[in-house]
Chains A and B, each alone.
Chain A
Amino acid sequence: MTSRENEHPHELISAYLDGEAASSERQMVEMHLRGCAECRTLLDDLRRLALAASAEIPPPVPAGLAARIRWRLPRQEPKRGEVRRRPWWRAPLPLSAAASLVLAVCVVWMLRGELRLAQGQPELRASKLLIDATVAQEAPDAPQGSGVDERVRQPSGHIQELFGQETVSSASDPETTKGEVESRTALAAVIPEDLGEAVLGEVSGDELSERKDATAKIPLQRMKLRKVEKESRRSREMTGQREEQAAPEPKVTSYDQPTPAEQPQSSRRVSKEEPVDEARIYPEGTRDQERYGDLQILGRSYADLMTLAPGVTDTDGDGNLNVRGAREVDFSVRTGTVRAGTKLKESAAFPMGAQVIVEFPDHHIAISDTGLISIKIGDYACSVQVEGETPSEARMESPAKPRAISSIFALAASLESHMNDEVSGAVEHFQTAGFGESARRITLQDAAGQTVRRLHYAGTSVPPPAAEIERRLLGLVRERYRNEIEKACGPLPQLEEASD
């Protein structure tokens, strides 16, 4: 704690603001506030900041974000109990290996005839190498001396002999699939036209194992290797074995990031993340969803909100706001073609009946700053007084006890700053077409029933504050106070989410 903190208990004042100070702390703060004008100003400022922060409107959701999310979602998930069939090339190892073996034998069989034509009837050790190598891979536990050439029991070692270290490193690369190793081994063995002169053609039988100076022919061998790899790729293409399909499935984290190939360019960075350690973020015993179960929408008392506006002060200190000066100017604005212009009467600062009314094509919702929520959906109509929202309680309780409704009033009071041509167009639409398919209207009335803000809009031209008002209002009705409403008036009909 700093000396400044000792002098002015900022942390306690902050906790006091939130109603989180203990009883003794509260007394201490109140005693300090009585004698410290600086801290009274601080408390007032912190309250203003909290209110302003709660009324802040984030930028709109970027266009196309929903589409990008859809794109990243996995394909249609199988229903419970349904087993997804894999393509044969992604089948478990034994099956794919068996398929590789069949393929290799076919290739050998085809080439064998050509070789016999080209070279007379040489003994095709290559084909034996191929088959032995494949068998050795498929049966790694086969007993020694079981007829499988020991040199091909470890194909990569054998390739090392043939192609030098570089090839081995490639073949042993974890990125290199087993199928590729097999394929390289096989093709190296069965293309004597390419490699025969360099390796296989000159070396046969047991001489092969004695040949240790293959490094002298590495440049040529590398060239040959490239040919082999080219042939290998061609072979895979012919057989429909795409390389990525043959690759092992990517490791799936707990959050199941898609493979880089599946991601849009802009989001690849995300895929490199570490798995989330939620245990750190959610300590033991705090993961139950009840912890989050009663999120309040936001907001504070209307009286507090009105203090955000310039010119609204409590000059006589009686707890009631005095509206002067700039506030009158602030309210004398044009809202589209609707002249608001109504000066806020002082009575509106007494939170006894000012209301925000949102009229959708299908339903209407109104809230008053006394905590009265009214809903009209077709034949369903309900008004309930929700607890904890009355102004008297707001005054009695902690000065910053959150109020969900008041923030909606703050947003409604800010509507004029978001007027634009689109909105003006919506006003015209509203005036000509009335409540059409998408026309909506938000009205802020003071306690005397006079309109101080009115905004018409339609279609996609929804100003951010209006969208936010809709969202919060629907949140109050559908979630926060749903039980109260349904208890009073029966099940609530489905409310359509306001479109952005």
Chain B
Amino acid sequence: MRTLSPTRGMLGGVSGGRLPAAAGEQTLIERARAGDRQAFDRLMEAHLSRVWDRVWRILRHREDCEDVVQEVFLTAYRSLPQFRGESSLSTWLARIATTRALNQIERAAEKVRRASEPLEESVGYPALSATGNPGTGGPRLAPTPLQELEARELRRRLSECLSQLPANWRVILSLRDVDSLAYEEISHIVGIALGTVRSRLARARIALRHCIRGETS
């Protein structure tokens, strides 16, 4: 690691301001563990956004997300005395959030509700319609090679197609592409075999690609 002078660097000439007066997170954790609700409120406010992001990437369903995020913080509040501080609070919360989101998937019988079994069942790589049913219903995306899609259109299609993927595929995509976890870590978190992580990730990506390209098959 190369260290530069503290007074040099890209921001060396920028004048600073007063220091924030917020109490340290560790202090807040200790107070929250002792039952201080205000301390927990501050921790919750600080971490709410990232917990929400994580859960949303898995569920992509607003109401479900709200329920799960509430559960995450209720769980955290009650489990805080067991939090040993071996990882950061955000990491700990992220793990709870992933677990709860996965649990929500099972509870909600997601596959049935979103009618996305054909993706999972198929051995090929079907294109998804806007409704998630290959070849039926909904406006179909115009077939376009990925390279020709503008960045904005790519983001729009990506969002649409991610919503159509089975949630247990999205979990893996999120853990890999957003959190950059190794396959082994994903395997432990999701509770599936390493080989399943690999194959499911590949299938999810291929299905996503076909969906975004608007291909029929």
Contacts and interface: CB of A to CB of B under 8 A. Distances in A.
B11 interface: yes
Interface in B96-126: 99-100, 102-103, 107, 123-125
The 8 tightest CB contacts between A and B, nearest first, are A383-B9, A402-B180, A77-B35, A496-B20, A14-B202, A385-B2, A383-B4, A376-B11
A295 B14 contact: no
Interface in B24-60: 24, 34-35, 37, 40-41, 44-46, 48-50, 52-53, 56-57
Interface in B153-188: 154-155, 158-159, 162, 173-174, 176-183, 185, 188
B56 A58 contact: yes
A289 B11 contact: no
B1 A384 contact: yes
A467 B11 CA distance: 21
B91 interface: yes
Given A59-B62, A289-B86, A362-B17, A385 B1 contact: yes
Interface of A: 2, 4, 10-11, 13-15, 18, 20, 41-42, 44-46, 48-50, 52-56, 58-59, 61-62, 65-66, 68-70, 72-74, 76-80, 255-257, 266-267, 269-270, 273-274, 276, 278, 280-283, 286, 288-293, 295-296, 298-299, 308-310, 313, 326, 330, 355, 357, 359, 361-366, 368, 372, 374-387, 402, 404, 414, 417, 435, 467, 471, 475, 479, 484, 487-489, 493-497, 500
Contacts of A471: 49-50
A425 B136 CA distance: 45
Given A383-B10, A385-B4, A276 B69 contact: no
A496 B46 CA distance: 9
Nearest to A376: B11
B34 A80 contact: yes
Contacts of B9: 366, 372, 374, 381-383
Given A58-B56, A74-B77, A355-B10, 19 more contacts: A11-B199, A18-B201, A45-B147, A54-B178, A56-B159, A59-B56, A70-B41, A255-B78, A273-B107, A283-B191, A286-B189, A289-B91, A289-B92, A298-B178, A368-B10, A372-B4, A381-B7, A384-B2, A493-B20
A494 B27 CA distance: 12
A387 B159 CA distance: 32
Given A273-B107, A281-B102, A381-B11, A46 B205 contact: yes
Contacts of B199: 11
Interface residues of B, number: 104
Given A10-B206, A362-B20, A293 B14 contact: no
A379 B7 CA distance: 9
Nearest to A472: B50
A281 B190 contact: yes
Which applies to chain B's interface (DSSP): helix, strand, loop or mixed?
Answer: helix
A65 B70 contact: yes
B10 A362 contact: no
B142 interface: no
Contact of B154 (A52, A61, A69, A493): A52
B154 to A, nearest CB: 6
A70 B14 CA distance: 39
B16 A363 contact: yes
Nearest to A482: B88
Nearest to A355: B10
A281 B92 CA distance: 15
B95 interface: yes
Nearest to A480: B88
B180 A292 contact: no
